A and B are shown apart, each in its own frame.
Chain A
């Protein structure tokens, strides 16, 4: 079916351009009074939505024991190959269970895809909402088991950033620094 396209002939009013210019000025003037959308970053932090994939954590049982059983499903699922686990016999139950002696994540390799938390049968590894964990050296950006457990303590009760926004602390040390 043929479509008839009407070409637009500018009228004299259009050719004056001045009304169009005025309308443009009004648009920018209205924006002048609109609330700005800037988040004043170090003072005020963006709160990521539920399901945000940031820094990892290793979950603990209420009594404090690590949930991870060092099955290495996560490191197998990891497309970036950034999870390195050294398993060993657990210090509890007389060494009958597996547990991670070392659990290192190379955060510079990680692509934050979340496959590890999907692969985990024990719901031990999870991604949190923490996004500002920059550091100065590559070595400092390899997080170990202690660090990952500490992230759990920081994020288990409430959103990490709501807490920091309330205290308005501008220099919040992420667990990586400790």
Chain B
């Protein structure tokens, strides 16, 4: 690889990383403000204009806190667990295309860190790894509440992951490829070619599974403040706790980006050919991607402050007895449609 290509990749990695971390900061602020508005409160409004510097104040507070490692925890795992959660959360974004391509220095640069041809598999694999972070954190804490939180997380994993995977299968059937770029190209055109209109059932299943995946309400069983103190992160303090926090928001951003890519045409601006507009078209596509992701992030917060938590057996029942059969049915429908189409 030549030097220019290498530089471009490094720049892309840095930009995506910075954007994700900035997104995390924005999300911390947005979560607190939006939740406040939904409860007719004001929320943080003292640090900076309307409280926008609140996440930075939070970060400084976390840095100043004592980094406590309780006695008799499994120390190496205890220290490793937050990293196991955070790193996959940040890595997942690498394959998600956040815009069309731009022409710079005489070459075409795709706005995506890595164009992996099994993109979806990569995403599903990495998001599953992050569950290990939660399970290990719960296990190593030597605390019964944390352990229960970790156990619940693994129970949750087996109940939503299958349905989620099967919902994605129907998308892959339509696009005929595992590459996320191909899936986006498949959805280009008018509004109606977006997968949400072609696969509404898959979208619903995927959306519900995504909430379980990111440990957000109504499926935040592994945290469950009311029952499990803090769940898997009960024993964590200082930056280690902040890492769990950042991982949660980074996961949310990735999950929202994935939802947009799979069902809302990714960076596609409806009724517009981005390629013909050059650099402006590329910027427009990035903007459309950001707006769509922002909507789903808002939906995450909105849902959190609306619905109560599911019980653990209710989630299992929903996953196995409702979502899995529905996802299979949906694959059957999609397969039938494609077969009929192929036959003419």
- Contact A31/B38 with A24-B307, A25-B302, A25-B303 known, Cβ cut-off 8 Å: yes
> In the complex, A31 Cα to B35 Cα: how many Å?
10
Q: Which residues of A contact B204 (CB under 8 A)?
A: 18
> In the complex, A38 Cα to B302 Cα: how many Å?
21
Residue of B nearest to A21 (CB): B307
Q: Does A3 contact B (CB under 8 A)?
A: no
Q: Which residues of B contact A4 (CB under 8 A)?
A: none
Question: Which residue among A18, A32, A35 has the maximum number of chain B CB atoms within 10 Å of its CB?
Answer: A32
Q: Does B66 contact A (CB under 8 A)?
A: no
Q: Does A27 contact B (CB under 8 A)?
A: yes
> In the complex, A29 Cα to B38 Cα: how many Å?
7
Are B306 and A34 within 8 A (Cβ)?
A: no
Q: Does B34 contact A (CB under 8 A)?
A: yes
- What's the nearest-Cβ distance from chain B to residue A165, in Å? 17
Q: Which residues of B contact A21 (CB under 8 A)?
A: 307
> In the complex, A28 Cα to B304 Cα: how many Å?
10
> In the complex, A84 Cα to B40 Cα: how many Å?
45
> In the complex, A70 Cα to B303 Cα: how many Å?
64
Against A, the Cβ 8 Å flags (1 = close, 0 = not) of B294-332 are 000000001101110000000000000000000000000
Q: Does B41 contact A (CB under 8 A)?
A: yes
Q: Which residues of A contact B36 (CB under 8 A)?
A: 36
Q: Which residues of A contact B57 (CB under 8 A)?
A: none
Are A36 and B41 within 8 A (Cβ)?
A: yes
Against A, the Cβ 8 Å flags (1 = close, 0 = not) of B272-314 are 0000000000000000000000000000001101110000000
Are B305 and A28 within 8 A (Cβ)?
A: yes
- What's the nearest-Cβ distance from chain B to residue A103, in Å? 41
Are A32 and B42 within 8 A (Cβ)?
A: no
Are B38 and A24 within 8 A (Cβ)?
A: no
Are B302 and A36 within 8 A (Cβ)?
A: no
Q: Does B39 contact A (CB under 8 A)?
A: yes
Q: Does B37 contact A (CB under 8 A)?
A: yes
A-B contact pairs, 11 of them (CB 8 A): A18-B204, A24-B307, A25-B303, A28-B38, A28-B306, A32-B37, A32-B38, A33-B37, A36-B36, A38-B41, A40-B42
